[in-house]
Amino acid sequence: MTGRGCDLHQSPAESLTSDSKHGSSMASSSSSSSAQQRLRIIAGHLQKRPEDENASVAAQECKAEAPRSEPSSATPVPRRRQEIMKWNGWGYSDSRFLFNKKGQAEFTGKRYRLSGLILPSLKDWFEGTFGANLQHRSPATPSLNLSAVAPPNLNQPFVEDLKAAGLTVSHDPEDRVFRAHGHCLHEVFALREGRIGRVPDTVVWPSCHSDVEKIVELACEHNVCLIPYGGGTSVSSALECPREESRSIVSLDTSQMSRILWIDEKNLTAHVEAGIIGQDLERQLNERGFCTGHEPDSMEFSSLGGWVATRASGMKKNIYGNIEDLVVHIKMVTPRGVIEKSCLGPRMSTGPDIHHFILGSEGTLGVVTEVTLKIRPIPEYQKYGSVVFPNFQQGVACLREVARQRCAPASIRLMDNEQFQFGYRSQFKGFDPQHLCVATLLFEGDRGKVLQHEKQVYDIAAKFGGLAAGEDNGQRGYMLTFVIAYLRDLGMDYYVIGESFETSVPWDRVLDLCRNVKERIVRECKERGVQFPPLSTSRVTQTYDAGACVYFYFAFNYRGLSDPVHVYEQVEHAAREEILANGGSLSHHHGVGKLRKEWMKESVSGVGLGMLKSVKEYVDPQNIFGNRNLL
């Protein structure tokens, strides 16, 4: 603990048995000898499937190759995801918050740092913040009522052709329901109530690029609607089946395409199948001494293809870049054929970058099958940090200065006072607990430089009244990011609903935007009959030269409301209007989906939208990729 005058109390999110382990850790790669490196390269070659063979590999063959003995290639996400993941909530089935018989909050399972721990002050925070009461429960429907799922509208010839091509197909209601939603509040809320809308009629699992080519070819032939499905973590209604779609809807689940096809240590690139999920990609690369450094908050579940399709952003983009900076090559199967570049050159001037038609296309043009990504050696040293500021204004001013000096750590995030009260509830001498806020930091690199860098940032912070508050406080902030989605499910058990949304905005508008949007949320809730004051908080999660990414968390107790989801949606809509009116963007990295479509024209101009539409028109005239996102 480096913070002076820090008097830490229990925060709601802090465990009783909170270990005092420091955040900094030496990465194992420092032990790598040259012999081991050679071994790794050989292992890589063994695993490698030459590019040029790819085209000729038949579906059958590529499937035969799928089971591998290589220990580092972890098994992909199971086809029956519901076996390990919740069908009506976030994440793994074994991990969830609950209030035990004593009224104490617990986090179950073994996967996370918080797992198995008791969180004694969460109850007080929860009841105090939302006016919720443990006596008032709103439990979810325990299991999926299969009779609520409409029978599949099958295109028999298509299904038969798929089977003939040796592809794995399912019409199982559980499989179909699982792929009919992302994690928007309204989607999860409906599942919890056991309401099932339009779901895909078929699920198909390709194992490689050529499987996808076959599926798309057949889909065109039989005119069925394809909806690519990666990690299922969408928060833009992107996975919702369009109600007006009368064709058979096929969910194309990329989870079985999860291999690292090759690693090129000379150029520091890796060629990876797009179905791989973030944690597997990172773990497998780590085992070989590398990383992508791309860590979106959803990285446990979201997939590489999904990142490309939504223009994802990772927490450590200051070092590694966002997804558009990371990709070197993309291969996408469209109804017109395969789109890709002819070389792996790091930059080219060949007209508008065709990657940018793919990045952010949100599954409307085709399926991303393989991606060549930049990789980096695992950093030698990693260190968390935190700074408390007397108020949010000072914190933003500090982040702005850090951006001006272009010395942002791998990650720097500023939480406002409300979030501080949730995550920390600590006392800092000389700081008003009603105004203070905290920035969490993550430094990466070689040890000497990290320490130097750290000093530079803390010196800047000091100019803005910031006080270093220790590594633990920093690490806790990042740890909370991964469990916060689980927390929403807990809230929903007790009449509390909420969601987060984001934007990007020029520096000079950050404060005004945060204040106005938060106040708009409070006001809209009041006007719409929400009985309790909502939680309306913001944080700055990314810094750029010309602006920042801002996140809002918004939740309220809905007791007394007849249609809470509708109220929620109206408030979020108003909040988005407010964001746009204050110079914020429609989205920084969540994407547009169907949720924010109405603002697309306003956001990119009529001509801009027309350009995108004409691309869609050319690439997919039959609207095979008919999820109706974006346009």
Q: Which residues are catalytic?
A: 551
Binding segment for other proteins among 91-99, 277-285, 354-362, 578-586 (CB under 8 A)?
Answer: 578-586
Binding segment for other proteins among 28-36, 392-400, 458-466, 575-583 (CB under 8 A)?
Answer: 575-583
Q: How far apart are CA 302 and CA 405, in angstroms?
A: 33
Using only C-alpha atoms, what is the Rg of the chain? 24
| Inter-axis angle of helices 564-581 and 185-192, nearest 10 | 170
- Enumerate helices (H) and strands (E) in the chain, giving the number of each: 20, 24
Residue 373 beta carbon to other proteins: minimum distance, rounded to whole angstroms: 34
Residue 467 beta carbon to other proteins: minimum distance, rounded to whole angstroms: 23
**520 is an interface residue for other proteins by CB under 8 A:** yes
Note the residue count of the chain: 631
Residue 505 beta carbon to other proteins: minimum distance, rounded to whole angstroms: 10
In the list 79, 113, 355, 515, the residue contacting other proteins (rule: CB under 8 A) is 515
Phi, psi of 535, deg, nearest 5: -85, 120
Binding segment for other proteins among 10-18, 74-82, 166-174, 516-524 (CB under 8 A)?
Answer: 516-524
Question: Which C-beta is closer to other proteins: that of 98 or that of 581?
Answer: 581
Question: Which C-beta is closer to other proteins: that of 547 or that of 591?
Answer: 547
Q: Say whether 555 sits in a helix, a strand or coil.
A: strand
Residue 516 beta carbon to other proteins: minimum distance, rounded to whole angstroms: 5
Question: Which C-beta is closer to other proteins: that of 51 or that of 602?
Answer: 602
Number of residues that bind other proteins (CB under 8 A): 13
Contacts (CB under 8 A) with other proteins, residues 163-202: none
Residue 351 beta carbon to other proteins: minimum distance, rounded to whole angstroms: 27
Question: Which C-beta is closer to other proteins: that of 454 or that of 577?
Answer: 577
Contact (CB, 8 A) for 120 and 13: no
Question: Which C-beta is closer to other proteins: that of 374 or that of 588?
Answer: 588
Binding segment for other proteins among 6-14, 187-195, 293-301, 579-587 (CB under 8 A)?
Answer: 579-587
Site string for other proteins, 335-364 (x = CB under 8 A): ------------------------------
Question: Which C-beta is closer to other proteins: that of 294 or that of 520?
Answer: 520
Chain position carrying tokens 């979030």: 419
Contact (CB, 8 A) for 589 and 296: yes
Binding segment for other proteins among 102-110, 250-258, 303-311, 513-521 (CB under 8 A)?
Answer: 513-521
Residue 605 beta carbon to other proteins: minimum distance, rounded to whole angstroms: 12
**583 is an interface residue for other proteins by CB under 8 A:** yes
Q: How far apart are CA 390 and CA 178, in angstroms?
A: 45
Q: How far apart are CA 117 and CA 13, in angstroms?
A: 10
**The pair of three-digit structure tokens given for residue 175, joined into one six-digit string:** 């499989």
Q: How far apart are CA 579 and CA 502, in angstroms?
A: 9
Q: How far apart are CA 339 and CA 55, in angstroms?
A: 14
**611 is an interface residue for other proteins by CB under 8 A:** no
Count how many Cα atoms sit within 13 Å of the Cα of residue 247 in the half-sphere of its side chain: 19
Count how many Cα atoms sit within 13 Å of the Cα of residue 547 in the half-sphere of its side chain: 13
Q: How far apart are CA 376 and CA 294, in angstroms?
A: 11
Phi, psi of 64, deg, nearest 5: -60, -30
Count of C-beta atoms within a 10 Å radius of residue 520: 20
Please, which contacts does 96-103 make with residues 24 or more away whose CB atoms are closer than 8 Å?
96/486, 96/489, 96/490, 97/122, 97/483, 97/486, 97/487, 97/489, 97/490, 98/490, 98/493, 99/123, 99/134, 99/490, 103/134
Distances (CA, A) of 134 to 122, 128, 185, 497: 12, 12, 21, 15
Binding segment for other proteins among 85-93, 223-231, 576-584, 587-595 (CB under 8 A)?
Answer: 576-584
**602 is an interface residue for other proteins by CB under 8 A:** yes
Question: Which C-beta is closer to other proteins: that of 113 or that of 509?
Answer: 509
Question: Which C-beta is closer to other proteins: that of 14 or that of 578?
Answer: 578
**519 is an interface residue for other proteins by CB under 8 A:** yes
For residue 551, the surrounding DSSP H or E stretch is strand 547-557
Q: How far apart are CA 388 and CA 514, in angstroms?
A: 19
Question: Which C-beta is closer to other proteins: that of 183 or that of 518?
Answer: 518
Residue 14 beta carbon to other proteins: minimum distance, rounded to whole angstroms: 33
Chain position carrying tokens 């407010």: 578
Binding segment for other proteins among 25-33, 199-207, 427-435, 580-588 (CB under 8 A)?
Answer: 580-588
**580 is an interface residue for other proteins by CB under 8 A:** yes
Q: Say whether 417 sits in a helix, a strand or coil.
A: helix
Distances (CA, A) of 531 to 115, 213, 493, 522, 562: 33, 53, 18, 11, 12
**598 is an interface residue for other proteins by CB under 8 A:** no
Contacts (CB under 8 A) with other proteins, residues 491-510: 508-509
Residue 584 beta carbon to other proteins: minimum distance, rounded to whole angstroms: 9
Residue 510 beta carbon to other proteins: minimum distance, rounded to whole angstroms: 11
**329 is an interface residue for other proteins by CB under 8 A:** no
Residue 576 beta carbon to other proteins: minimum distance, rounded to whole angstroms: 12
Question: Which C-beta is closer to other proteins: that of 106 or that of 524?
Answer: 524
Question: Which C-beta is closer to other proteins: that of 436 or that of 510?
Answer: 510
Phi, psi of 14, deg, nearest 5: -100, 140
Q: What is the DSSP string of 451-485?
A: HHHHHHHHHHHHHTT-EE--HHHHHHHHHHHHHHH
Nearest to 301 by CA among 265, 268, 340, 254: 254
Tell me, rounded to whole angstroms, the distance of Cα 190 from its chain centroid: 21
Residue 538 beta carbon to other proteins: minimum distance, rounded to whole angstroms: 14
In the list 46, 64, 344, 581, the residue contacting other proteins (rule: CB under 8 A) is 581
What is the binding site for other proteins (CB under 8 A)?
508-509, 512-513, 515-516, 519-520, 580-583, 602
